[in-house]
Structure 1
Amino acid sequence: MPNGTDWIVLGDQAARLRVSREYVVLEDHWIPTWLEISVNGRPNDGPDPEGFARVEVNRNGVPRLVEFAFRASDPESQGIRQADFREVEVSALVEELVAGFTFRAQRGPDGESIVEPPLEGSDAYLEALRFIGRRRAGRTSRDITPELLERVARVYRSNIDRHPTKAVEHHFQVSQRMAAEYVSRARKRGLLPPTKRGQKRA
């Protein structure tokens, strides 16, 4: 069992949660490397069974359900029923759990770091949910939106004295070719100035 983290009691103490203090960083998203949840009993039907789940996130930011268990400890209960298994939606369990603890760090107009907590139902949570869903579905390539290109331009400009395209490649976890495509599209949108071959301009 992981050490160094305490259980967080949720709601009316029907569930407890533990979250890793280590994160996988992809683009500007910070994803915990593991989470565990323990649920005590059925919400509306007695004390059993107890449920436990562990989700782990690999270095590519893909969360996986690696452990799941029911336990019926009350000898007078009905024990574990088929309905208990039918009620488990693995994708929803994994994605909603991880999204609730995935933080996105953005730069403010003055360059300060802004982190919006992914509170359930908030825009930050819904964005994290979409991001985690794409990771699990294997759709790691993303739409090249105006917002993405603005972020590309910021990363490029902040690394202009070193290797700006390489910085884009590493920041967004894309291939060298795709990083160059991002930079090219940012230039076409006027987010970066035109450049001559062999020259860097930002």
Structure 2
Amino acid sequence: MRTRKSIGNIGYAEAQIGPDHWVRVGDRLLPKQIHVVLPGAGGQPRLTARLEVVEGIPQCREITIASVENGREVKQNDLRTVSIAEMVEGIYAGFSEKIEREENGVIMAVASSGEIAYVDAMHDIAAARKGRGARKITPTFLAEVADVYRANVNENPTQAVRRTYDVSTSMAAEYVRRARKAGLLPATTSGKKQA
């Protein structure tokens, strides 16, 4: 069964619901996949996303931002306004069901309602996402960091790295430092951005 939930008054999310479409994440059942649509009212760009649970971790696997007919162009600020972590945590929280009991391989789960239940679900989803373990810092990964940095050198490149890898500012700065140390980015000069 396909279920649609509103995202305020700006869009909706849809997921297949039922025994064949659930995955267990901690003490919650989540849909394997959720499709998000923010249609772009008033000429704003349209956003679509595919969220998916991969190896027990709720993730954003695809996101598209596109101009609508007779709408304005996609701007840099459109990318900055999307918080992928908040979207994944909030939308999965809205679809989650809490496991209340498990006996003989049968799981009894209930969809909770109310603000407190929603906040608890968001915390559980966030914890599952943080449990992914440390990222391996490989030469390939550092090359990707350098590419992100160079593509955003005229804006705030370290913040672009932070957003791309969904990490803290200090961790993004560490990735950039390691990319420089590996010779993938030039040394810095005080007050000048170099890529």
TM-score normalised per structure 2: 0.55
* Selected match of 2:99 from 98, 105, 116: 105
1:109-146 Cα deviation digits (max 9, x unpaired) = xxxx8754333523x22222111111111179xxxxxx
Secondary structure class of the residue paired with 1:100: helix
In structure 2, what is the Cα distance between the partners aligned to 1:63 and 1:11?
Answer: 18
Q: What corresponds to 2:2 in structure 1?
A: 5
Q: What is the one-letter code of the residue matched to 1:24? A: V
In structure 2, what is the Cα distance between the partners aligned to 1:92 and 1:11?
Answer: 13
Which structure has more strand as a fraction of its residues? 2
In structure 2, what is the Cα distance between the partners aligned to 1:33 and 1:40?
Answer: 23
8 Å Cα contact 2:25-2:57 kept in structure 1: no
Q: What corresponds to 1:65 in structure 2?
A: 60
Q: What corresponds to 2:29 in structure 1?
A: 30
Return the offset for 1:25: 1.9
Q: What is the one-letter code of the residue matched to 1:95? A: E
- Correspondence 1:15 to 2:11: yes
Percent identity, please. 24
Return the offset for 1:54: 0.7
Q: What is the 5 A alignment of 1:169-180?
A: none
- Correspondence 1:50 to 2:43: no
8 Å Cα contact 2:34-2:52 kept in structure 1: yes
* Selected match of 1:126 from 119, 125, 134: 119
Q: What is the one-letter code of the residue matched to 1:97? A: I
* Selected match of 1:93 from 87, 97, 108: 87
8 Å Cα contact 2:92-2:125 kept in structure 1: yes
Max Rg structure: 1
Return the offset for 1:78: 2.2
Q: What corresponds to 1:190 in structure 2?
A: none
Which structure has more helix as a fraction of its residues? 2
**What 5-or-longer segments of structure 2 have no aligned partner?**
102-106, 134-195
8 Å Cα contact 1:53-1:65 kept in structure 2: yes
In structure 1, what is the Cα distance between the partners aligned to 2:7 and 2:53?
Answer: 25
Return the offset for 1:102: 1.1
TM-score normalised per structure 1: 0.54
Secondary structure class of the residue paired with 2:95: coil
In structure 1, what is the Cα distance between the partners aligned to 2:5 and 2:99?
Answer: 26
Return the offset for 1:47: 2.4
Return the offset for 1:91: 0.6
In structure 1, what is the Cα distance between the partners aligned to 2:56 and 2:43?
Answer: 35
**What 5-or-longer segments of structure 1 have no aligned partner?**
108-112, 141-202
In structure 2, what is the Cα distance between the partners aligned to 1:94 and 1:121?
Answer: 17
- Correspondence 1:135 to 2:132: no
C-alpha change, 1:78 and 1:26, in structure 2 (3 Å) is: closer
Runs of 4+ in 1 over 4 A off after TM superposition: 113-116
RMSD over equivalenced CA pairs, Å: 2.8
C-alpha change, 1:71 and 1:98, in structure 2 (3 Å) is: same
In structure 1, what is the Cα distance between the partners aligned to 2:124 and 2:78?
Answer: 29
